[in-house]
A and B are shown apart, each in its own frame.
Chain A
Amino acid sequence: MAKHHITATVNGDPVEFLCEPQETLLDALRDQLNLTGTKEGCSTGDCGACSVMVNDRLVCSCLMLGVEAAGKSISTIEGMAQGDELHPLQQKFLEHAALQCGICTPGFLVAAKALLDKKPDPSETEVRYWLAGNLCRCTGYDKIVRAVLDAAAEMRGA
């Protein structure tokens, strides 16, 4: 079966790539576009390590085909910092030590940004429910939740 020629927008830039029909968006991002910030965890939609935005909607890129990305606008962790300037969420994750091994971190950051873009002043409960689809085996979550709430406060003040 011939590969599909896909054109899309990734982090604001037009991209094109070739992908097999059964290839996931996650594999297309990592293997065709060399955007390896998005991680593969469970491959079954349970862990959220592969979280990306597709047309402003948070999704697991392991549960979407690369061919489905045709014409879509995708945002990944690589689009989060502006040049050398970290996004407030990234900065707060560092300050609060909200990561240890780091595999889950890009997914948490993309998911948390999706929440704060939609809801600048979430409660702790809302943060915890929103991030229930992102698993972390290092931090125990509390530092992540603190970092998100702190980033939200800073972004509201800024």
Chain B
Amino acid sequence: MRYEAPSSLEQAVGLLAAASGDARVLAGGTDLLVQMRTDVLNPELVVDIKHIPELRQIKEDSAGFRIGAAVTGAELKEHPRLKDVWPGVVEAANLIGSTQIQGRATMGGNLCNGSPAADSVPALIAAAAKASVVGPKGRREIAVEDVMLAPRQLALTKGEIIASFILPPQAKGSADAYLRFIPRTEMDIAVVGCGVCLTVDDKGVVSRARVALGAVAARPLLVEEAAKALLGSKVDDAALRKLDAAAGAACKPIDDKRGTKEYRIKVAGVLARRAAQIAFERARKA
């Protein structure tokens, strides 16, 4: 294995594009090193992207937040503004692993690891985040919901790297929330995860909504029917019942040791209701 730690995106892209064998991007390494250790992956080249300035920064301007793909969970939590504007995204990223894992794990890695249960991904999808991707042909933006195609399969071509995530400016009366269910209090992989982002108008009615689910299909889902259930409502019981049904109907889960299909469908509806209520309460104060 060859290890490279380039200081620019151009160099990183060049190295990945020129690799003859399996080439992997190293951000926090909390998934990659486990996969290398267990011989799931045996890369010929590992490109450490943590020396590239854009990937390690959080910037806020009129276009919203731009979060470097290699910013760690601990750094997201410590940012003075991010958790006020995007509490759901920060909560989701902070649910990944232990304190030790938070010191290294990144949202870029969480997405590119290609797990349907990645915690930060439904929150980013609900937030309408875009991935800013740099490759041999230049830079492009992809909606986060379009990055992962199936387990371990991404819509990135050879040499492409996610450089940062762009979170759009949060309109007045908007807020997000993320909830995950695991069989214990800490340190497990989602049975279901649900991100909700809402905008509430000055009459207290939901004027915009996005709902995303994780761990209930081959990839994280943006669930438009679930968002429609909330639109025009004050997140009352009737809207929540419709949301519950729409979230459950969108699930195409598997049975595994963490839960059966039926259980995941049930929990998806429950989490969607609860996350919508949290986002609604936050949005009314935002």
Q: Report if A and B associate in a common complex.
A: yes
What is A's interface to B at a CB cutoff of 8 Å?
A: 1, 4, 21-22, 24, 43-46, 48, 51, 54, 57-60, 62-65, 67-68, 70, 111, 114-115, 129-134
Q: Which of B67-96 contact A (CB under 8 A)?
A: 72, 74
Q: How far is the CA of A21 from the CA of B185 in the complex (A)?
A: 36
Is the CB–CB distance between B100 and A51 below 8 Å? yes
Find chain B residues with CB under 8 A from A68 CB: 5, 26, 29, 48, 50
Is the CB–CB distance between A132 and B34 below 8 Å? no
Select one of A21, A58, A59, A130 contacting B2, CB under 8 A: A21
Find chain A residues with CB under 8 A from B3 CB: 4, 21-22, 65, 67
What is B's interface to A at a CB cutoff of 8 Å?
A: 1-3, 5, 26, 28-30, 33-34, 36-38, 46, 48, 50, 72, 74, 97-101, 103-104, 185-187
Is the CB–CB distance between B97 and A22 below 8 Å? no
Find chain B residues with CB under 8 A from A59 CB: 100, 103-104
Find chain A residues with CB under 8 A from B104 CB: 57, 59-60, 63-64
Q: Given A1-B1, A1-B2, A132-B187, is A65 in contact with B29 using a C-beta cutoff of 8 Å? A: yes
Q: Given A21-B1, A68-B48, A132-B186, is A63 in contact with B34 using a C-beta cutoff of 8 Å? A: yes
Distance of A128 from chain B, by nearest CB (Å)? 9
Is the CB–CB distance between A60 and B100 below 8 Å? yes
Q: How far is the CA of A62 from the CA of B37 in the complex (A)?
A: 10
Select one of A21, A114, A115, A129 contacting B46, CB under 8 A: A21
Q: How far is the CA of A68 from the CA of B32 in the complex (A)?
A: 14
Select one of B2, B33, B99, B101 contacting A24, CB under 8 A: B33
Shortest Cβ-Cβ A-B pairs, 3 listed: A133-B98, A21-B3, A132-B186
